[in-house]
Homo-oligomer: A and B are copies of this chain.
Amino acid sequence: MSAVDRQLEELHETITEAVPADISVTEVKYEGPELVVYTRDPKRFARNGDLIRDLASQLRKRITVRPDPAVLSRPDKAREAVMRVIPDEAGVTDLDFHEDTGEVVIEAEKPGLVIGRHGSTLREIAQEAGWTPEVVRTPPIESSTVSNVRNFLKQQREERRDILERVGRQIHREKMSDEEWVRITTLGCSREVGRAAFILSTPETRILVDAGDKPGSDDVPYLQVPEALGAGATNIDAVVLTHAHLDHSALVPLLFKYGYDGPIYTTEPTRDLMGLLTLDYLDVAAKEGRTPPYDSEMVREAINHTIPLEYGDVTDIAPDIKLTLHNAGHILGSSISHFHIGDGLYNVAFSGDIHYEDTRLFNGAVNDFPRVETLVLESTYGGRNDYQTDQADAEAHLKEVINETVEQDGKVLIPAFAVGRSQEIMLVLEEAMRKGEIPEMPIHLDGMIWEATAIHTTYPEYLRDDLRDRIFHDDKNPFLAEQFNQVDGGEDERQDIADGDPAIILSTSGMVTGGPIMSWLEHLGPDPKSTMVFVGYQAQGTLGRRIQSGWDEIPISSGGGRSERLSLEVDVETVDGFSGHADRQGLEDFVKTMNPRPEKILCVHGDERSTQELSSALYHKYDIRTFAPKNLETFRFV
């Protein structure tokens, strides 16, 4: 009998003893980080109010109780019982019964009403129906990504349970080593922005944090060194993804092509956004005639291996490591990944990308932890002079530009990233129109912006408190404002818009490197009354950067491999201050107010100058041991 089986047998005995005599426990098994308890008496289990919570705290494990398949009521019976308990106002849109696990997945417009106060309604459902309820939100705006992911996972339930059981047994395996050390290896993203990838390793465990690409370059992280996949795909125990931006996520599906078969820990919105962005990444590669490094099947593998965590959940992901994700304030679902290693041995936090101040979309990054000895900190704006306009000034500037353009009867064209900056601008524009600071006019959303917005509204828990509350009420949901129009009529619609009255257009890609913005350039580029407004960072080598720096003639593909030149007459403006990254001040404030203050900081995710200047400043101001690592180095802690 393996050590895990012995452990499960002991847990089975302990639980049997802990529950009342009239509750039978038929099986106990691991599924990912959770302990699943099967019972022939699910209703009695549910009736004993605090039983599960008490068990969880006694065993220090996350516990799910499921009915033994032998005692399941018929789904039609159960459906009636479930619907009897849930109030009508919850707006149930789907019920999905899984006889293999005795779970019923309830999709509802108002999940809170299905859960009830402290989970009381959920318990009542279990008690009445004898099935284990699980709740998801009906997207307030239809999202094909969300529904594709959910349908896919529905089809994959059996394979997924196998994966989860295997992962669960891995997590709870016996410790093999008596030694104690903690190391971080930089596989990318050091003295550069992009190709984020780090290995956190102990004698027991190796965790890969992120696996991204490098925008404007073919460089990929050093995944093939022995510290990572060079020692075989099973050398990596788990992947943790801080957020969905491609410079962190693009190569995650590739891991599965290399034979990786373990879990990905991340938030639910990051999982969905990763799906959206990596599929688009493959699409763009194909359109540009490059061979994509993997195919869409690998994206599905990645989704199937994802174990979603909520902010604040403390989760065992290895015999010696607990992971907790915290809000990073950067994009939807972005997280700071906090690792607690050993029994109080050491704590490491990877910032991922952070925004320290609150924005309209998100609460500012969390910098309060039980313990952190080493922080791996992004340094995008870590340079000595990387201070940004504050958001109020940025918004005023944007409104001014819009008003001037409208006065001369022009249109406003804003290239924007689908995820994050677009939604931030949408919120600014919606409020400005509501308050009469800019005239009411249509705001056209082109590219993936609308889809990304839909994903945002599916996960309001991840948005800033007051925005979340507004989304919960349809009539106050700012993204449902009637000005917003998704451009879904192709070139005809764009032509109509270009020929029409003043309007604002938000279109991808954010750095004018492809996508519908190219078409908008043709429509509006020659129009001296219109304005093109850059609201995000334009990387070296992109067309956006060229236009921003004054080029007035640009190449435009005219089909058939030929290209023409387009003269730009449009007014070009740059509005600073909408970045999703903390600026130099924000980074310093993050560290200054961090609780507890870390002993060591590795400055990464910035160019050589930014990482070194930030490293040096943090050392001198806060007397912390700081480093600006190079790629392929290993730092030992403990």
Does A513 have its Cβ within 8 Å of any Cβ on chain B? no
CB-based contact A636/B636 at 8 Å: no
Residues 217-238 of chain A: 1 if any B CB is under 8 Å from the residue's CB, otherwise 0?
0000000011110111001000
* Closest chain B CB from A294 CB (angstroms): 21
Chain B residue contacts of A437, Cβ below 8 A: none
Interface window among A62-70, A71-79, A573-581, A625-633 = A625-633
Does A472 have its Cβ within 8 Å of any Cβ on chain B? no
Identity of the chain B residue whose Cβ is nearest the Cβ of A637 in the assembled complex:
B630
Given contacts A231-B226, A231-B230, contact A633 B632 (CB under 8 A): no
State in angstroms the CA–CA spacing of A231 and B201 once bound together: 14
Partner of A226, one of B206, B631, B633: B206
CB-based contact A632/B183 at 8 Å: yes
CB-contacts of A614-637 with B (<8 A): 630-636
Does A267 have its Cβ within 8 Å of any Cβ on chain B? no
CB-based contact B633/A635 at 8 Å: yes
CB-based contact A633/B636 at 8 Å: yes
State in angstroms the CA–CA spacing of A228 and B634 once bound together: 14
* Closest chain B CB from A189 CB (angstroms): 14
20 additional contacts (CB under 8 A) given A183-B633, A231-B232: A181-B632, A185-B634, A201-B225, A206-B226, A226-B226, A226-B227, A226-B228, A226-B231, A227-B634, A230-B231, A230-B235, A231-B235, A630-B636, A632-B634, A632-B636, A633-B633, A633-B634, A633-B635, A633-B636, A634-B634
Chain B residue contacts of A226, Cβ below 8 A: 206, 226-228, 230-231, 235
* Closest chain B CB from A27 CB (angstroms): 36
* Closest chain B CB from A523 CB (angstroms): 43
Identity of the chain B residue whose Cβ is nearest the Cβ of A235 in the assembled complex:
B226
* Closest chain B CB from A522 CB (angstroms): 39
CB-contacts of A549-568 with B (<8 A): none
State in angstroms the CA–CA spacing of A634 and B198 once bound together: 14
State in angstroms the CA–CA spacing of A235 and B185 once bound together: 18
CB-contacts of A582-638 with B (<8 A): 630-636
State in angstroms the CA–CA spacing of A388 and B633 once bound together: 37
- A: interface residue count bin: 20 to 34
Chain B residue contacts of A630, Cβ below 8 A: 636
26 of the cross-chain contacts (CB-CB < 8 Å) are A181-B632, A183-B632, A183-B633, A185-B634, A201-B225, A226-B226, A226-B227, A226-B230, A226-B231, A226-B235, A227-B227, A227-B634, A230-B231, A230-B235, A231-B231, A231-B232, A231-B235, A232-B232, A630-B636, A631-B636, A632-B634, A632-B636, A633-B633, A633-B635, A633-B636, A634-B634
* Closest chain B CB from A198 CB (angstroms): 13
* Closest chain B CB from A465 CB (angstroms): 43
Chain B residue contacts of A632, Cβ below 8 A: 181, 183, 634, 636
* Closest chain B CB from A356 CB (angstroms): 30
State in angstroms the CA–CA spacing of A230 and B176 once bound together: 14
* Closest chain B CB from A217 CB (angstroms): 14
Chain B residue contacts of A231, Cβ below 8 A: 226, 230-232, 235
State in angstroms the CA–CA spacing of A635 and B109 once bound together: 54
State in angstroms the CA–CA spacing of A206 and B225 once bound together: 10
Chain B residue contacts of A636, Cβ below 8 A: 630-633
Chain B residue contacts of A631, Cβ below 8 A: 636
* Closest chain B CB from A219 CB (angstroms): 10
State in angstroms the CA–CA spacing of A249 and B232 once bound together: 29
State in angstroms the CA–CA spacing of A634 and B631 once bound together: 10
Identity of the chain B residue whose Cβ is nearest the Cβ of A199 in the assembled complex:
B226
* Closest chain B CB from A202 CB (angstroms): 11
Chain B residue contacts of A230, Cβ below 8 A: 226, 231, 235
Chain B residue contacts of A635, Cβ below 8 A: 633
Chain B residue contacts of A185, Cβ below 8 A: 634
* Closest chain B CB from A600 CB (angstroms): 13
State in angstroms the CA–CA spacing of A482 and B633 once bound together: 58
Identity of the chain B residue whose Cβ is nearest the Cβ of A185 in the assembled complex:
B634
10 A-B pairs with least C-beta separation: A231-B231, A634-B634, A226-B231, A226-B226, A630-B636, A632-B636, A633-B636, A226-B227, A633-B634, A226-B235
Which one of A201, A226, A630, A633 has the highest number of Cβ atoms from chain B below 10 Å of its Cβ? A226
State in angstroms the CA–CA spacing of A633 and B637 once bound together: 9
Chain B residue contacts of A225, Cβ below 8 A: 201
* Closest chain B CB from A188 CB (angstroms): 12
Chain B residue contacts of A206, Cβ below 8 A: 226
State in angstroms the CA–CA spacing of A201 and B181 once bound together: 22
Chain B residue contacts of A228, Cβ below 8 A: 226
Identity of the chain B residue whose Cβ is nearest the Cβ of A177 in the assembled complex:
B224
Residues 171-193 of chain A: 1 if any B CB is under 8 Å from the residue's CB, otherwise 0?
00000000001010100000000
State in angstroms the CA–CA spacing of A439 and B225 once bound together: 64
State in angstroms the CA–CA spacing of A635 and B634 once bound together: 7
State in angstroms the CA–CA spacing of A235 and B633 once bound together: 18
Identity of the chain B residue whose Cβ is nearest the Cβ of A226 in the assembled complex:
B231
Which one of A185, A630, A634 has the highest number of Cβ atoms from chain B below 10 Å of its Cβ? A634
Identity of the chain B residue whose Cβ is nearest the Cβ of A632 in the assembled complex:
B636
Chain B residue contacts of A634, Cβ below 8 A: 185, 227, 632-634
State in angstroms the CA–CA spacing of A632 and B181 once bound together: 9
State in angstroms the CA–CA spacing of A635 and B228 once bound together: 16
Chain B residue contacts of A181, Cβ below 8 A: 632
* Closest chain B CB from A79 CB (angstroms): 52
Which one of A201, A225, A631, A633 has the highest number of Cβ atoms from chain B below 10 Å of its Cβ? A225
Residues 475-501 of chain A: 1 if any B CB is under 8 Å from the residue's CB, otherwise 0?
000000000000000000000000000
